[in-house]
Structure 1
């Protein structure tokens, strides 16, 4: 352990937290059988040997299991935090002390520290970047043009990051392949829906200890994350309103049994507001003005820009901490607005993020996407690439096997039928 520390550069809160972090990493691993099988194969085959890899992720127990898997595959990996409130300090300490992985992450780090860590990550001269939100890739393109020739590719698993990568490619600045992990079926169907759904409400309840039954919950955005939050809030007895800009998703929300209306109408009705859009200023001053006294607002999208907190803070006569991760803004009209987790990802700011069982599939996609980039580095063109269907299917099959679930297989007659156009009804 001492040898690993002396050879490893790092910035973490306290290395003495490492034993606690090790326990928690191992506990998470119990629920991550797919990544375990990939790690065992990686340890034998070393598909990432000689690859310098940077990961900008939430530094959690689940991410630790991914980092250990990448290291087992031969990668020279360095890890930084993608969000200042999502770092688990004991986990960061353990990765340094037990595994010799350079980690630059401290819970509560300020923006200046975060951006400095992004620069440290790029100083590692990565060949592959695992990015949550695409800040590292954006900084590389804007400030480190001389390093672009070193890049094999990047992987991205957040909706926000995919939107940014699409904009980069449209502008002609994304000159290397990017694996769209977010749109893999074994990622967004499960991580976004079940992971975000459960962990968001977990963060809200830990921060406030409020009873959600009987409350009106407004969910901004009905993508896979919004669907999960709305589903779980209804399951706990809440009356759920959905706001949307996409007419197809709005129809879907209505047919799923939720009330659908603009935020301008929902603002006066909600007791709790959850933003999951990936866009900017979804809740604005006019919405705050219309809210009930004591209304609670939080965000479960990647960046802390979905709620216009700057405007709220400028208008407030007083801001005070009323519980951990819970701030009350006193307004001139006598009402108060309660903000959870500083408007950052509430599931990671006030809780522990997604359960490890669902991150097992997401991080299996990340690990296999890195392997895919290396194996196909001479043929992949710049731009966004989907996770191959066979990889998605492999991950799902491994997960089912680990859960003890068996499914049917096609008979030879059925295979012939679905591949033929001559056989009708």
Structure 2
């Protein structure tokens, strides 16, 4: 039994082996290399049908080959790329041409500026930058030519901003004695804060004109006197004083710094000679600033440094236009109170006291005719255009001053001076002769 079973098992194994070989031969006959891939005839038929339909559609559009369509698309892309490259090259060429034009124009402007500077230095008449508000005949033409380019077509306001940034000093309103002393070397004690006052040859003016008196009556009727009324009051006095004189004035004149004068700021009223070619002399008139005192009340502050800065700016600009001018006068007022200073190119400084109405208890000038005449005379004297009366008065005062030194001394005064001369023996002789000598 056992032997029979062994034979059956061997026979069964041989049959299985033959079957496997037969199956392997069958798979080898097929086109597929691997025994795990089977052919799906339905899907293959669907794919073939879709390919035929696509070919028929292409033939209907006149395309007989798929490769020809791809070639046409590639040709279109090449044409587009060529056009884009051509446009870019044209743009680059135009940009290069514009840059070359800009460089040429900048070189021309730079050469013109150098020529102008050389001419100005050769003439020794370099005028500082003078800028004004609108409708100003004192404006100086810009050296830079106006062009269509954005970099070179700068307006005057941009140049003003640049010049203000370059200035070291603050504007007129923020000046103090320290800034004035550092720039002008005016002595604080002997000049700026000296107790001595200057008494100019002021001529009283006629205030009986009908229009002027009507204007004063309007100010008397006002119950509230504000800042606008103060400006209007100053305007009426300037208009009345400058009648038939050839002078005119600007409102809110903007002063710009320059290489010769770093002072800058705003002048409330600037008087100039309208009929003269050089438009000089210039007389700056500044208003007193409102400030609160320790009690919290508003008061008028006459800042002397502010007035000095405006006067120095006016003097430098006048000398640039007319080198013979050596004196500048400036006025500071709040409408009711008036003060004037005078400076020259030698470093001298003089100031008057503040002229106030004395007849009125409230110190209002529109109620005091004498103060009105003094204010008008002060404005006319500041113009530095003396008339016959002023010239005659100056001659009288000069004669009186000379008589003080021409008169002979009494023997008593001579003996006193000799005694003082001996007492100060420890001083050098030239010092004693200078102070106590009379021979």
TM-score in terms of structure 2 length: 0.21
Q: Which has the larger radius of gyration?
A: 2
Task: Determine which structure has the larger strand proportion and give its number.
Answer: 1
Name the structure where helix makes up a greater proportion of residues: 2
Taking structure 1 as the reference length, the TM-score comes to: 0.21
